[in-house]
Structure formats: structure tokens, C-alpha cells
A and B are shown apart, each in its own frame.
Chain A
Amino acid sequence: MDFNSYVLQMASAFAGSMGFALLFQVRRGKLMLASLGGLLAWAVYLALGPVMPQDVPRFFIASVALTIYAEVLARVVKCPATLFLVTAAVPLIPGGSLYHTMRYFVEGDFAASSAQGLNTLLLALAIAVGMIVPMSLFQLVRRVRLRWARIEAEEGGK
């Protein structure tokens, strides 16, 4: 893949994320941030290309990156992380793979169809697990911090 197609893919990932952000009524101030998340996710995916040939781990890491981006941003601008998470994940959604699955299916090529179908499912799983891991870690950190604050307050009171 040459440099131009990298740029084209990142630009269209950005535009596509922005489209979904608009569709889901994200307002002006956060529109750019949400769309940049989509670009970031795809940039991570592309950057991993030379190191990892397989799609599933690349999708996983891209998803981890975009979740960290969304969680950090949610704390900075004080709004639900879902807002950034949902719009930034759009370029990762395996729509192309899904289409090819069904295309093989209607053409009667069941072997290719089931292989492609499994691929689609694994990609979706990679995205979901990639989101869950950092989200749980962020939650854990928050709980530990709260407990610490409580212990310190109790000791201070004595």
C-alpha cells in the first residue's frame, strides 16, 4: 500500500466518524474530538501493519487505543466516554467483511462465506474486548482512589 492510500484511508476514516458524530447529534465543541478518535483508531491499525500481519490483534490494539483516548477525553471535558467511544469505533466496524460474507453466501460459496463470517465475528469480538480491558482498568483505578481517599479522611479525623 502506498503513502497516498494511507492518507486517503485516514482522511475518510475521519470524515466517516464525523458523519456518525453528526448523525448522533454530537455538538460542535466535541465534533472534532470525536472525529479525531476515528482517525486515531485507524492510524494505530495502519501503523501496526508492518509488525503484525493479522487483522484481529491489530483491531484489538486499535480498539484499546481508542478506548484510552475516549476515557481520558471524557475526564478532561467532563462528559460520558460513550460519546467518543461510539463515534471513534465506527471505522473499525467490519462492514466490508460482512458484505463479502453475504456475497459469498448468495453466490453459493459456503466455504468462503463461513471463513469470512468467522473473520467478521472475530473482528467484532476484538473490538469489544479491546474496549472492555481499558474500561475495566479505568474503573478499578477510580475505585482504588476512592478507597484511598476514604482511608486518608478517616485517619485525618482521628
Chain B
Amino acid sequence: MEKRNPFFFTADDADQLARLEAADRANEYLYRVLDIGQYMLQSGAEISRVEDSIRRLCTSFGAQRTDVLTITSSIVVTIYAPQFGAVTQTRRVAGQQYDLHRLELLNQLSRRICTQYLSLEETERALEEIRNVPQYPFGVQLLTYALISASFSLFFGGSAMDAVASGLIGVLLRYLDRVIRQLEANAFLSALICSCVGGLLAASSVALGLGESVDMISIGNIMLLIPGIPLTTSLRDMFSGNTISGLLRFSEAILLALTIAFGFALVAALM
């Protein structure tokens, strides 16, 4: 008779097969759960929300124990139940695009999965729907940039003409940012170029008589460009116990914010 390692396949074959099938299903389910976690993280959810949702989702489909670790751009989940043993998956999450509407939909979906026990197909269909929800049209987005720059220029004490100049420059800068990012330049280079160009445009619009104060025009544009939301989210992450993620995001946001302010200030000081 063939010799066998005594630690493997000691259970009878039917039992073993059922276990493997259960593990397969668990793996497939976990993949969808990670999809939801990934989209949440990309849409701008804080770490504790992502981990909490993943934990609830896994419990709802029968995991006895769930261990989740989320660090800025990666999620690791291990689930355990006697039916399928331990199943682990990891996910690397790249690129963030704040979309609070999508976050809201994802939150609703994960609640629905937990209370109504959606099947895999239903979950997949719902995820696909969320993926295809349209964003605001391009024209509205351009107006948004102008609105933000103009109102913050006024907010920090600029005149009406400053606000107009800041609004126009804001639209150009966001467009420039998009073009540079399509060339796959890194975020810091893009920030430095955008802020220097922004500073130059602010100085030249004052020279041309559109606007009065380079500082006020620039501040409106800085508010548009700086990662203010990651900055506050990361501090919240740190205070709620997710120190690693918080610190990583915080230093990234601080560096970016400093780079942007530096670019504007440099041009303003040289002019």
C-alpha cells in the first residue's frame, strides 16, 4: 500500500470534498466582499468603516471569526469557520477618487447584504450598477472648480475681482492637473507644476488689472488643490486607533499640501 502523510486526508473523502467546495464558495464570496471594501476605500471611506463593513459582511455569510487589516492601500482578510477552515485574501488598492455618492450606495449595499442575505449573483449585479452610476457632467465639474476657488478667495478676504481671477485660474489648474496626471507623472511633480503655473497666472492677472492681490487669488486656488479631506481623515484615523494608516496618509497629505503652498508662495515672492 502507498504510504501517506498521516496529517493529510485523514477524514474520509466525501467530507473532504464538501470542505473543499465550501472553501471555494467562501473564496468567491470573500472576493466580492473585498471588492466592496476596495471601492469604499477608493471613494474616501475612513479605515474603521471599511474594516467594520468587511467584518459584518463576512459574519453575515457564516464566518465564525474574521480578521481584517487595512493599511492605506491594502486590505488583508482571513475568515474562519469549521465548514471551510481558514480562507485568506489580500487586495492592493491603488488610486483614490473621492465620490461620496458612491460611498453612500456601497454602504446601503453592504447593509442590504447583511439583512437580506443577497446571493453572489445579486451582489455582483448591484456592484456593477454602483460602478456604472454616472458622475456629474464635465461642464458642471469645471463650474465647481470655479465656484470653489472664487468663494474661498472671497472667504479669506479677497475682492470681487480677485474672486473672478481665482475662479478662472482654478478651472485652468484642475484641467492642467488632469492632463499631467494622464501622463502618469507622480502627484508631487504635478502639484509643483500646477502651483507654480497657478502662481504665475495669479501674478500676471494682477499685472493685467484683473484682481488686486496675488495672495488672495492664490489662496482660493490652494483651497481647491490641497488635499484637505485626506488631511482631516488621516487625523481621524490616527485618533481612532489606526495609527499606521493615519500616519502614512497624514505625511503624504502634508507633503502634498506643503508642495502646493510652496509653489504658489515661491512665484509670489519672486515676482
Which residues 62-115 in A have Cβ within 8 Å of B in the complex? 79-80, 82-83, 86-87, 89-91, 93, 95-96, 98-99, 101-103, 105-107
Number of interface residues of B (CB under 8 A): 52
User: Quick check: B49 and A129 within 8 Å, CB to CB?
Assistant: no
- Complex CA–CA separation, A130 to B34 (angstroms): 32
- Complex CA–CA separation, A15 to B257 (angstroms): 22
The proximity string for B residues 78-107 relative to A, scoring 1 for CB distances below 8 Å and 0 otherwise, is 000000000000000000001111111001
Residue of A with least CB distance to B152: A16
Which residues 196-243 in B have Cβ within 8 Å of A in the complex? 215, 218-219, 222-223, 226, 228-229, 231-233, 235-236, 238-240
- Complex CA–CA separation, A10 to B46 (angstroms): 28
Stretch at the interface among A18-26, A50-58, A141-149, A150-158: A18-26
Residue of A with least CB distance to B133: A25
Which residues 12-68 in A have Cβ within 8 Å of B in the complex? 12-13, 15-16, 18-27
User: Quick check: B264 and A102 within 8 Å, CB to CB?
Assistant: yes
User: Quick check: B215 and A103 within 8 Å, CB to CB?
Assistant: yes
Chain A residues near B228 (CB, 8 Å)? 89-90, 93, 95
User: Quick check: A102 and B104 within 8 Å, CB to CB?
Assistant: no
User: Quick check: B233 and A86 within 8 Å, CB to CB?
Assistant: yes
CB distance from A143 to the nearest CB of B (A): 13
User: Quick check: B147 and A24 within 8 Å, CB to CB?
Assistant: no
CB distance from A114 to the nearest CB of B (A): 13
CB distance from B231 to the nearest CB of A (A): 6
User: Quick check: A82 and B46 within 8 Å, CB to CB?
Assistant: yes
| Known A16-B151, A89-B232: A82·B265 in contact at CB below 8 Å | no
CB distance from B240 to the nearest CB of A (A): 7
User: Quick check: B219 and A83 within 8 Å, CB to CB?
Assistant: no
Q: A137 near B: Cβ within 8 Å?
A: no
User: Quick check: B226 and A93 within 8 Å, CB to CB?
Assistant: yes
Q: B161 near A: Cβ within 8 Å?
A: no
User: Quick check: A25 and B269 within 8 Å, CB to CB?
Assistant: no
Q: A132 near B: Cβ within 8 Å?
A: yes
- Total residue contacts A-B, CB cutoff 8 A: 149
User: Quick check: B232 and A99 within 8 Å, CB to CB?
Assistant: no
Stretch at the interface among B13-21, B114-122, B134-142, B179-187: B134-142
The residue that A83 contacts in the complex, of B104, B135, B144, with Cβ under 8 A, is B104
Q: B45 near A: Cβ within 8 Å?
A: yes
The residue that B236 contacts in the complex, of A8, A93, A131, with Cβ under 8 A, is A131
| Known A19-B151, A22-B147, A107-B269: A132·B104 in contact at CB below 8 Å | no
Chain A residues near B45 (CB, 8 Å)? 80, 82
Chain B residues near A18 (CB, 8 Å)? 147
Chain A residues near B29 (CB, 8 Å)? none
Q: B61 near A: Cβ within 8 Å?
A: no
The residue that A80 contacts in the complex, of B107, B229, B264, with Cβ under 8 A, is B107
- Complex CA–CA separation, A91 to B228 (angstroms): 10
User: Quick check: A106 and B233 within 8 Å, CB to CB?
Assistant: no
User: Quick check: A106 and B104 within 8 Å, CB to CB?
Assistant: no
Q: A128 near B: Cβ within 8 Å?
A: yes
The residue that A24 contacts in the complex, of B100, B150, B266, with Cβ under 8 A, is B100
Which residues 227-271 in B have Cβ within 8 Å of A in the complex? 228-229, 231-233, 235-236, 238-240, 257-258, 261-262, 264-266, 268-269
User: Quick check: B239 and A128 within 8 Å, CB to CB?
Assistant: yes
User: Quick check: B44 and A24 within 8 Å, CB to CB?
Assistant: yes
Identify 15 residue pairs between A and B in the complex whose beta-carbon atoms are under 8 Å apart, listed by A's number: A16-B155, A22-B136, A23-B145, A25-B98, A27-B101, A79-B104, A80-B103, A82-B100, A86-B98, A98-B257, A99-B265, A101-B261, A103-B215, A124-B235, A132-B236
Interface residues, chain B, with chain A CB atoms under 8 Å away: 44-46, 49, 98-104, 107-108, 135-136, 140-141, 144-145, 147-148, 150-152, 154-156, 215, 218-219, 222-223, 226, 228-229, 231-233, 235-236, 238-240, 257-258, 261-262, 264-266, 268-269
